[in-house]
Amino acid sequence: MSTAAAPASSVPAGARSGWWEAVQPAARDPILGVTEAFLADSDPKKVNVGVGAYRNDEGKPVVLECVRKAEQIIAGKQNMEYLPMGGLVKFNDLSVKLAYGDTAPVLEEKRVAAVQTLSGTGACRLFADFQKRFKPDSRIYIPVPTWANHHNIWRDARVEAHTFRYYKPSTRGLDFEGLMEDLKKAPEGSFVLLHACAHNPTGVDPTADQWKEMSQLFKSNRLFPFFDMAYQGFASGDTVRDAQAIRIFMEDGHQLACAQSFAKNMGLYGQRVGCLSVVCDNSQQAVNVKSQLQQIARPMYSNPPLHGAQIVTTVLSDPELKEQWYKEVKVMADRIIGMREALKSNLEKLGSSLPWKHITEQIGMFCYSGLTEDQVDRLTKEFHIYMTRNGRISMAGVTTGNVEYLANAIHEVTK
């Protein structure tokens, strides 16, 4: 295959300094690569179950009605001034109430330091830098598997990273024994990354009793829990249920930190709206911690964006809009749950000899299917179905119009 020649440089040869000659192309993002391949495919039957963004049953992006109404309320009534380094104060207050509960003692005692962040990614990165600055010799323990960007975030913050077992391929479920065994070996003072709900990419969450057992281990071994909560409300349709892990740890008296994102549960993907909160010993400590988080944010991005935070604040502070949001987020969660049932049912009707109960036992946007890389490659080449090569299916891309086709294709490659 011929390769097009690079365009000639307009810089005179003698003026070239060679500053960037050592720079090589970065590795392609595996998820974005799936989308690019899907868009380049002209087959009318093509299906994209690789992207982690909600779609309706027609496969279209969704803007929630409560968000549209909030935009109408905001339109033309707000200035465009900079926010403080810590972001919109009312947004932070409403976010932590959603995470910890409206009447949580830690909020009444003003023991939570909270700052607005660039969605959940920004919250994780801000905390990773905070950890490195104030606990420079500590480790972060990350589950296997996890969202790939978690590794990038703590690596770039130069925090020593270790892993712990989480998923058991043989059962397509939680490796609770392995998890507990690995975390028992973690040195005192270690930090542990936990997915509050709808674990990405597996969709496998601990039960309430397992969370309680983990909480006791964290207390006895003095481990610090860091919760990444990207799917509150989106997992089960119930924001309280999806926050149960955090509430269990709070009831046991832990200090902890939480990264929140409003990308999935409010559909504000492009607005980059998030919150980082850290539970402290007392109110003065919370003031100190917040000041340091702001200090870290200052040279990164100075202050967070305004519009998305105003939308979330408007929705969560208006009783009617908040109630509408609860209903709309449940509709999204219920559609995902329904597609899980439909995919499992279609596979079973085809007479598949493989067990597929894990499809409905898992929760949230993703199904960790158990498909091998070779099987995923066959799905793409033979059936024009696109997903990441680890077999993760974005259930948001499954619709009543394509679920039967998807099931038939999976059945063919797993015979």
Residues labelled as active-site residues = 147, 228, 264
Between vectors from CA 398 to CA 393 and to CA 403, what angle results, nearest 5°?
Answer: 110
Contact partners, residue 319, CB within 8 Å, separation at least 6: none
CA distance 366 to 234: 11
Sign, CA torsion 46/50/55/60: negative
Burial class (CB in 10 A: 0-12, 13-18, 19+), 66: buried
Across the strands, what pairs with 193? 226
Beta bridge partners of 392: 368
Backbone phi, then psi, for 118, in 5-degree steps? -80, 80
Place of tokens 């606990």: 135
> What is the rounded CA–CA span in Å between residue 263 and residue 240?
18
Q: What is the largest CA-CA distance in the chain?
A: 71
Of 50, 392, 65, 375, residue with least CA distance to 198: 392
Report yes or no: 45 and 405 within 8 Å, Cβ to Cβ. Answer: yes
261, 353, 242, 262: which is closest to 311 by C-alpha?
262
Joined tokens for residue 145: 């598997």
